[in-house]
């Protein structure tokens, strides 16, 4: 069958060899230019279809609707770049998932976003399809060796205006290597001070599940902290220790630090416990808790295995729509004043 005939039947045809991804930062320059209207919104979706097999009409319609909304609406941009640390020392509460999907949602709606992966596991780098094998220049080189942050930033594969500073396994030893260094808690804030963020609207810092030097560096570097809280009892137990650490960092290292956002994740509406935890968190923290709640979703869990966020993997899923609502709520909220 000829290529023209195949396309007439709806088959995507051979891939376009001209779709090569530009290098960073030489070919793109800094700050990154806003994406032009000439970008083909179907390109990432075609890759998704190839990875996941034939898609159902309802999924295709959801993709088309999301692409249309992303192309026709631009959310308000902050007056200056918002730097937000996403932290919770409890593992498995959705820190990386939240960082990746909030960043993807904001980028789809006209924001320019950088995800700074500070977790040695490098899961945020995986989800954004950015190379992070051992030996790749990464955040480790920035923190330990003092390399410029701009030298490690890479564009995400599937979404324009979304960038990632990857983490490698080398970062696992950084906590020990940072101990003898002067001002070890301020290595990241100094790197960000030397980084031109004027071309960005948001920087999300994804933290490891601990309260070690990497997380402390992230708390010192950002004026805002977003805390994902799993809707289960155990998630509340470690919250007190995290808030004490935030208070210590605010008192001694970063007076501007504030808990600006709390996001309820992994909500299971079938259980009374999830509703009770959500009610308790809202009663205690008030307006900083987002109205949007992230449900448990298989599609959200599957997306990183394809090197994607759920926003491109299955934009019609409940998880994608919940993260979209959370991102929109953040975009329309003003950053807290110091």
More confident residue, 317 or 7: 317
* pLDDT tier at 63, thresholds 50, 70, 90: low
Pick the residue with more confidence: 336 or 265?
A: 265
Asked whether the beta carbons of 322 and 292 are under 8 A apart, the reply is yes
Query: How many CB atoms are closer than 10 A to CB 14?
Result: 9
pLDDT class of 59 with cuts at 50, 70, 90: low
Q: How do residues 68-98 score in pLDDT, each as one tens digit?
A: 455 557 899 999 999 999 999 888 888 999 9
Per-residue pLDDT, 25: 45
- Check residues 48 and 275 and name the one with the higher pLDDT: 275
Q: How far apart, in whole angstroms, are the C-alpha atoms of residue 205 and residue 117?
A: 6
Residues 6+ apart with CB under 8 A from 46: 12
> Looking at residue 36, what is its pLDDT?
45
Average pLDDT over residues 55-62: 52
CA separation (Å) from 36 to 40, 77, 91, 157, 327?
A: 10, 17, 39, 16, 22
The pLDDT, as a whole number, for residue 78 is: 93
Q: What is the largest CA-CA distance in the chain?
A: 70
What digits encode the pLDDT tens for the residues 259-275? 999 999 988 888 888 88
The candidate with the shortest Cα–Cα distance to 208, out of 93, 302, 82, is 93
Please give the pLDDT value at position 338: 47
What six digits make up the tokens of 234? Answer: 């155990």
* pLDDT given at position 256: 94
The strand order across the sheet containing 289-295 reads 154-155, 162-165, 113-117, 202-206, 82-86, 224-230, 258-267, 289-295
Query: In this structure, what token pair is assigned to residue 133?
Result: 């094998």
Contact predicate 269/295, CB 8 Å = yes
Instruction: Tell me the per-residue pLDDT of 114-165, one tens digit each, with 9 for 90 and over.
Output: 999 999 999 999 999 898 888 889 999 999 999 999 999 999 988 999 999 9
Those residues whose C-beta lies under 8 Å from the C-beta of residue 137, and which sit 6 or more positions away, are: 147, 151, 152
Q: What pTM was computed for the model?
A: 0.79
* The pLDDT of residue 273: 87
Q: Give mean pLDDT, residues 319-338.
A: 85
pLDDT, average across residues 50-63: 51
pLDDT(245) > 80: yes
Percent of the chain with pLDDT over 70: 78
């Amino acid at each position: 069958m000829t290529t023209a005939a195949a396309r007439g039947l709806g088959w995507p045809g051979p891939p376009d060899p001209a779709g090569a991804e530009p290098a960073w930062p030489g070919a793109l320059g800094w700050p990154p230019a806003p994406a032009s209207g000439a970008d083909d919104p179907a390109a990432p979706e075609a890759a998704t279809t190839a990875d996941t097999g034939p898609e159902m009409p309802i999924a295709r319609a959801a993709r088309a609707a999301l692409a249309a909304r992303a192309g026709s609406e631009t959310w308000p941009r902050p007056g200056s770049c918002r730097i937000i640390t996403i932290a919770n020392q409890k593992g498995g509460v959705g820190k990386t998932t939240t960082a990746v999907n909030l960043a993807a949602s904001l980028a789809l709606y006209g924001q320019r976003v950088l995800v700074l992966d500070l977790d040695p596991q490098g899961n945020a780098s995986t989800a954004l399809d950015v190379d992070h094998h051992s030996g790749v220049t990464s955040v480790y080189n920035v923190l330990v060796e003092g390399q410029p942050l701009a030298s490690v930033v890479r564009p995400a594969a599937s979404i324009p205006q979304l960038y990632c500073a990857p983490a490698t396994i080398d970062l696992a030893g950084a906590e020990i290597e940072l101990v003898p260094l002067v001002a070890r808690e301020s290595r990241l804030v100094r790197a960000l001070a030397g980084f031109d963020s004027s071309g960005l609207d948001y920087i999300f810092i994804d933290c490891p599940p601990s309260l070690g030097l990497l997380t402390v560096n992230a708390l010192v570097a950002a004026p805002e902290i977003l805390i994902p809280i799993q809707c289960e009892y155990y998630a509340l137990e470690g919250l007190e220790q995290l808030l004490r650490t935030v208070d210590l960092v605010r008192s001694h290292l970063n007076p501007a630090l504030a808990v600006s956002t709390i996001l309820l994740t992994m909500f299971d509406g079938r259980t009374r416990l999830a509703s009770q935890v959500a009610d308790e968190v809202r009663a205690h923290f008030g307006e900083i808790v987002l109205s949007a709640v992230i449900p448990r979703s298989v599609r959200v869990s599957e997306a990183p295995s394809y090197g994607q966020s759920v926003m491109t993997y299955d934009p019609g899923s409940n998880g994608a729509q919940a993260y979209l609502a959370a991102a929109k709520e953040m975009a329309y909220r003003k950053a807290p004043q110091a």
